[in-house]
Amino acid sequence: MVKHENTIFDAYRRNEEKPSATWKFLKNEFPELSQTMTFNTFKQYVSVFSAIRRELDKVRQEAEIEQSKKIQNDKRKLMTELDNARKGLDEVRQKNSETVDQLNKTMQENSYLESKIQNLQDELDKVRQNKTGITDQLNKTIQEKFHLESKLENLNKELDKVRQTNIVVNLEKSKPEINPKNVMGWNVQQSKDGYYRCYRKINKQVHSIYIGKEFNLEKIRIRIREKENEINQCMTK
């Protein structure tokens, strides 16, 4: 009976779960069934197995429903993930498009920079070609500079000599005229009142000559001669 379980229960349902009708049908399909059990035994077992089978089917159906729900939930999750993945893919494609645009722009900029670098390289080559001439000109300029510096140094030395000479001359000119204190043996003195007088001791007598506020050497000499003549005349009398 267990061997043909599915066939037996299918026949039991088709015969409206009537044991006698099912027994008759199965005897024609499986003649060996009547040899292994009687109708009463079949009737008892088929009812019990039918109830168990219904419970099993119910459990199986519930499990299938739960499984179906789980599958549906998983499907929805997968659809959501797929939708998110598509959105992410669209974003990636958009970013890739922007990246491609940026890459193209960068390549254009690189091409421009390469052109500029080439131009600079050409200019550098020209500068290098002119380097020898520039170096010679620079050396010549340096030599001329040294020559001019040497001439300038000599001129400064000459100028220092001239300045030193002028300083000496100016100092000589700026020296105040020093009035001699002794003229022809007479002592010349300036008193507190600002007047000049000459003094000399002759024959134990002090003689004086009034000169005035102005110190005039020639005038002093004339006065001294006059005074000495006067003294000599007095001594000869």
> Which residue range forms the structural domain that includes residue 39?
1-129
Q: What is the pLDDT of residue 175?
A: 46
Decide if pLDDT at 168 tops 50.
Answer: no
- Is the pLDDT higher at 219 or at 171? 219
Q: Strands across the sheet with 182-183, in order?
A: 182-183, 186-190, 196-202, 205-212
Do 89 and 60 fall into the same domain?
A: yes
**Cα dihedral sign for 98, 101, 107, 113?**
negative
Question: Could you say which of 129, 160, 195 is where a domain stops?
Answer: 129
**How many independent structural domains does the chain possess?**
3
Q: What is the pLDDT of residue 212?
A: 92
Do 112 and 212 fall into the same domain?
A: no
Q: What is the pLDDT of residue 205?
A: 92
Q: Where do we find the tokens 């002592």? A: 187
Decide if pLDDT at 177 tops 70.
Answer: no
Do 7 and 40 fall into the same domain?
A: yes
Do 30 and 61 fall into the same domain?
A: yes
Average pLDDT estimate for 156-178:
58
* Structure tokens given for 106: 């960068």
Do 108 and 1 fall into the same domain?
A: yes
* Structure tokens given for 17: 């779960």
Do 32 and 122 fall into the same domain?
A: yes
pLDDT tens per residue, range 41-59: 777 777 777 777 777 778 8
Stretch (H or E) spanning 41:
helix 39-129
Q: pTM here?
A: 0.30
Do 13 and 110 fall into the same domain?
A: yes
Do 209 and 117 fall into the same domain?
A: no
Question: Could you say which of 92, 108, 129 is where a domain stops?
Answer: 129
Do 135 and 209 fall into the same domain?
A: no
Strand 182-183 versus strand 186-190 pairing type: antiparallel
- Is the pLDDT higher at 40 or at 98? 98
Question: Could you say which of 96, 129, 162 is where a domain stops?
Answer: 129
- Is the pLDDT higher at 130 or at 72? 72
Do 27 and 69 fall into the same domain?
A: yes
Q: What is the pLDDT of residue 46?
A: 74
pLDDT band, residue 138 (cuts 50/70/90): low
Average pLDDT estimate for 61-79:
87
Do 21 and 72 fall into the same domain?
A: yes
Rounded distance between C-alpha atoms, residue 69 and residue 81, angstroms: 18
Do 21 and 123 fall into the same domain?
A: yes
